[in-house]
A and B are shown apart, each in its own frame.
Chain A
Amino acid sequence: MYSNNYAYPVIFRVDPTAPEPLFAQLSAQVRTAASRGELAPGERLPAARDLAESLDINLHTVLHAYQDLRDEGLIELRRGRGAVVTPRAARDLEPLRDAVAELAALARSSGISPDTTLALVKEAFR
């Protein structure tokens, strides 16, 4: 038997009037879907050409998004097999999400702006 690794349980949506570039909107959706477990390792993303056609956007926009995802190690791009979600994409981000939610709540209750909070987070990574 084969596993259920051919589903694409993602609805792709891009908004050309939004300030964020289209490729970034697209890659963000895959990232979110993967972190929520909606995209499991081994699952495939639609072929870039098909997705570009469906969304009525440039093929290079989709390729740009896929390449970014590959560089982050979330998908593998294989010739003939398309874009496959890696095990890494499905890492359990739940504890991190919880901590981030707690951080956001703390910042809000202390009256500290998101920008200041982000600056502090970035500093912590140095």
Chain B
Amino acid sequence: MTVAPSGNRPRSAVSHRGSTTAWTLGAPAVVVLAAVAVALSWRSELPDPIATHWGLDGVDGFGPFGPNLAAHALIVAAFSLALWGLAFFAGRDSLTRRLCNSTAVGIAVLFSTVLVGNLSVQRGLTDATEAGDTGGVLIGAFVLATSLAVVAAWATPADPPLPATAPVPDDAPMLALHDDEHVAWVQQVGQGGTMIIVVSSATLVLVLELGLGARMWAFAALFAAVVGLLLVVMVRWTVTVDGEGLTLRSLLRHPRIRVPLDEVVAAEEVQVSPLREFGGWGLRTGRAGRTGVIVRKGPALQVHRTGGRVFVVTVDDAATGAALLNTLATRARQG
């Protein structure tokens, strides 16, 4: 069954565009221009060519200053533009904007810090082969980028309240409920076995490559720790349907995602294919701007929300959750 989101036009479409542009284009531009300015101010103190890559036995890649600078700036610009487009045109849901804003900021900080860090160890040298180790630069850049990405996600403005005006459609699944009954449906998101296997093996390959290949064990360990923490947070969510609406809490209780009852247009059970529809697992924005907590393939609870937003969570017994959500939304709207 499909429930058409009717009578609730996407009204919130314009209000976020200023902040979205500021976070995905403005902030990365400031960061990368600052890095470029610092790099240019050091130009006379740098060797020519400069060291651009470090291998097992020190520097193993060299290049001219200008193109190297441009390459860093262009990579950041490309990511920023792509993320701006996604958030600007498909960012109806604050979840999408949070993901885009934090990724844009994270990438800008990562590349800018690496650029400045790698140049800083070459100041005053005439021969770039003498440049020292930059393992610390990578660790510092990674920590700074991750932290500022979290700040950007946190600072992204939430969606303004947008209560539904139309009743829940008659053909939406419902549950027989007594008027005085207090009801709660509590579930855990489905078992993310495939997600855990894929993410862990990819991380293991990278960690071994960083460790054995480049001898950057400290960075490899830090990277594994961050991915591990993300995996724990992203794979375990408690899903609740109650008088507040639909609420998801991660294992650490944050982040929390809520679809308030008065913004529920209609809910239903759907089948989800993580790779095909969402391009992966975790906190996702998928095709047509659908957002979701996607940890496995199969049945999922899908909520059509006001403002043209659609949220999906892969959870067992989704039919019951959807029916209860429709029923509670109907009851609340009847006052």
Q: Which of A's residues lie within 8 Å of B, judged by CB?
A: 1-2, 4, 6-17, 46, 50-51, 53-57
- Beyond A6-B188, A54-B242, whether A11 also contacts B182 by CB under 8 A is no
Q: Which residues of A contact B186 (CB under 8 A)?
A: 8, 10, 12, 46, 50-51, 54
Q: Which of B's residues lie within 8 Å of A, judged by CB?
A: 177-178, 180-188, 191, 193, 236, 238, 240, 242-244, 316-317, 320, 324
* Minimum Cβ distance to chain A for residue B286 (Å): 25
Report the Cα distance A54→B236, complex, angstroms: 19
* Minimum Cβ distance to chain A for residue B124 (Å): 55
- Chain A CB count within 10 A is highest, among B177, B188, B244, for B188
B180 touches A51 (CB 8 A): no
Q: Which residues of B contact A2 (CB under 8 A)?
A: 191
21 interchain pairs, CB-CB under 8 A: A2-B191, A6-B236, A8-B186, A8-B187, A9-B316, A11-B184, A11-B320, A12-B183, A14-B181, A15-B178, A15-B180, A15-B181, A16-B182, A50-B238, A50-B240, A51-B184, A54-B242, A55-B182, A55-B183, A56-B243, A57-B182
A9 touches B184 (CB 8 A): no
* Minimum Cβ distance to chain B for residue A43 (Å): 9
* Minimum Cβ distance to chain A for residue B323 (Å): 10
Q: Which residues of A contact B316 (CB under 8 A)?
A: 7, 9
Q: Which residues of B contact A54 (CB under 8 A)?
A: 184, 186, 240, 242-244
Main secondary structure of the interface of B (DSSP, over half): mixed
Q: Which residues of A contact B187 (CB under 8 A)?
A: 7-9
* Minimum Cβ distance to chain B for residue A6 (Å): 4
* Minimum Cβ distance to chain B for residue A57 (Å): 6
Report the Cα distance A17→B193, complex, angstroms: 44
* Minimum Cβ distance to chain B for residue A92 (Å): 23
**Nearest A residue to B240 by beta-carbon distance?**
A54
Q: Which of A4, A16, A55 contacts B180 (CB 8 A)?
A: A16
A6-B188, A14-B182 known; 14 new pairs, CB 8 Å cut-off, are A2-B191, A7-B316, A8-B187, A11-B183, A13-B182, A15-B182, A46-B184, A46-B240, A50-B186, A51-B184, A51-B186, A53-B242, A54-B240, A56-B182
* Minimum Cβ distance to chain B for residue A86 (Å): 19
Report the Cα distance A6→B242, complex, angstroms: 19
Report the Cα distance A51→B184, complex, angstroms: 8
* Minimum Cβ distance to chain A for residue B239 (Å): 9
